[in-house]
Amino acid sequence: MLTIGKLGAQAGVKVPTIRYYEQIGLLPEAERSAGNQRLYGRRALERLAFIRHARDLGFTLEAIRDLLSLSDRPDQSCAAADAIAKAQLAEVESRLARLTALKVELERMVVQCAGGRIADCRVIEVLGDHSLCATDHRHPESEGAS
């Protein structure tokens, strides 16, 4: 059995995060020692490592909850897990496209800046007027925001 500190160290997860995962039901409540200290077994370590790896890959907590639910029923088809992974891949591809557009725009702004006075600074000018940008690099959640 592992204490919460040892569990966190082995899984690479901070103690408050472990407590949070318990609170929201991603990890089952730990057993308690006679001194009321949390104790975790191998299964909790495996589950926490799964959560950590999924978070490293950018999955949302809700997607992780769904994946954990699926992993608890190993005889099911993996179609639902594939769909969750495909949705995450699409999100990553979308973020990459936005980051590429941001990179292009920042490079363009820097190249166009003559290095003179702020009054003539292309960086300041472009940041003040999105219509001067060559690409639409806004995050979808900021659409409509000025």
Q: How far apart are CA 106 and CA 95, in angstroms?
A: 16
- The whole domain housing 88 covers 79-141
Together in a domain, 136 and 84: yes
Q: Report pLDDT for 146.
A: 43
Beta bridge partners of 38: 32
Q: Report pLDDT for 38.
A: 92
Together in a domain, 47 and 12: yes
Q: Report pLDDT for 115.
A: 74
Q: Do residues 96 and 104 make contact, with C-beta atoms less than 8 angstroms apart?
A: no
Would you say residue 69 lies in a domain? no
Would you say residue 133 lies in a domain? yes
pLDDT below 50 — which residues of the chain?
146
DSSP symbol at 40? E
- Only one residue has tokens 């992993």, namely 71
What domain count does the chain have? 2
CATH number at residue 9: 1.10.1660.10
The strand ranges marked E within 4-119 are 31-32, 38-40
DSSP symbol at 34? T
Structural tokens at position 122: 């292309």
